[in-house]
Amino acid sequence: MNKVNILGIEFDNYSLEEFKDRLINRLNNKLSTMVVTANPEIVMAANKDPKFMKIIRQDADLVTADGIGIVLGGKMLKTPMKERVTGYDLFTWLLEVANLRKLRVYLIGATPAVMKITKEKVAKVYPGVELVGAEDGYFKDDLTTVAKRIEKAKPDMVFAAIGFPRQEQLISLLRQKQVPAIMMGVGGSFDVFSGAVKRAPEVFQKTHLEWLYRLITNPTRFKRMLALPEFVVEVEKSKKQKNKSNRKNTI
């Protein structure tokens, strides 16, 4: 099964390596590509915001399960997903690809300080990357103006870290203009990449407890974390409705 529907969002049921293959194929063919890395928080936000849901459902070319909660949701609905595929892992891998191919990359998001470090690190670690844009997320222009600025730079890849749903709204504008680039919202990836925020130790990653590490190290995330139990409750409701419908169809 290549698609798994969880609360209205169609997730692509691919492994990390399969996602990489598809991204390389789209990159080789210069296809305008919008990637959404959706976690339970994004799923719940989309269910409360029809415009956000419409962007994901109509404009996204690939939707990854960025969060163990999504994998759990798939199991609950008896439509298991192959694995969790995080935005950060795709982001750093795509930078490696851009480095090898000497591609044009546009970065937008985070604080001025974080963007400065991110820009410097990209130049040092990925010298083959041509940064055609590196601006922080505190711009005053509207998203349409920003989209025009990005389009003019003619990037091969665009990474937006301005939080959802704004990063998806921005990428949607570029996708609708058929900008021939791999474009992805990466949330807090610049913070982690720059070292401003530490990624969870490997033991937390392997046991799928990155969320717990983030909560321990940053208690202010507590309110955001409430989206996870809310998500589980909604998935359980969806499961019951699905079972009820299946029973009716067999009568």
For helices 68-76 and 210-217, the axis angle rounded to 10 degrees is: 140
Question: pLDDT tier at 62 (50, 70, 90 boundaries)?
Answer: very high
What spatial distance separates the first Cα and last Cα of the chain, rounded to whole Å? 26
Q: What is the pLDDT of residue 220?
A: 57
Question: pLDDT tier at 48 (50, 70, 90 boundaries)?
Answer: very high
109 vs 216, which has greater pLDDT?
Answer: 109
Percent above pLDDT 90 for the chain = 78
pLDDT, tens digit (0-9, with 9 covering 90-100), for 118-157:
999 999 999 999 999 999 999 999 999 999 999 999 999 9
Q: What is the pLDDT of residue 229?
A: 85
Query: In this structure, are residues 238 and 7 in contact, taking their beta carbons and an 8 Å threshold?
Result: yes
Question: pLDDT tier at 13 (50, 70, 90 boundaries)?
Answer: very high
Three-state DSSP class for 177? coil
pLDDT, tens digit (0-9, with 9 covering 90-100), for 180-218:
999 999 999 999 999 988 766 776 666 655 655 555 556
List the single range of 30-44, 78-92, 160-174, 189-203 with lowest mean pLDDT.
189-203
pLDDT, tens digit (0-9, with 9 covering 90-100), for 234-251:
999 998 887 766 666 665
Three-state DSSP class for 159? strand
Say which residues have a Cβ less than 8 Å from residue 185's Cβ, sequence separation at least 6. Answer: 35, 36, 37, 87, 160, 161, 162, 164, 167, 168, 171
Q: What is the pLDDT of residue 228?
A: 79
Question: pLDDT tier at 117 (50, 70, 90 boundaries)?
Answer: very high
Q: What is the pLDDT of residue 189?
A: 95
Alpha carbons 169 and 191: distance in angstroms, whole number: 21
Its pTM stands at 0.88
Percent above pLDDT 70 for the chain = 86
Task: List the one residue out of 61, 65, 60, 90 whose CA is nearest residue 77.
Answer: 65
C-alpha separations of 245 from 4, 43, 132, 231, 240 in Å: 18, 23, 52, 21, 9
Say which residues have a Cβ less than 8 Å from residue 116's Cβ, sequence separation at least 6. Answer: none
Q: What is the pLDDT of residue 23?
A: 98
What's the chain's average pLDDT? 91
Q: What is the pLDDT of residue 205?
A: 64
Question: pLDDT tier at 75 (50, 70, 90 boundaries)?
Answer: very high
Q: What is the pLDDT of residue 197?
A: 82
Q: What is the pLDDT of residue 225?
A: 63
Calculate mean pLDDT across residues 42-63. 97
Q: What is the pLDDT of residue 118?
A: 98
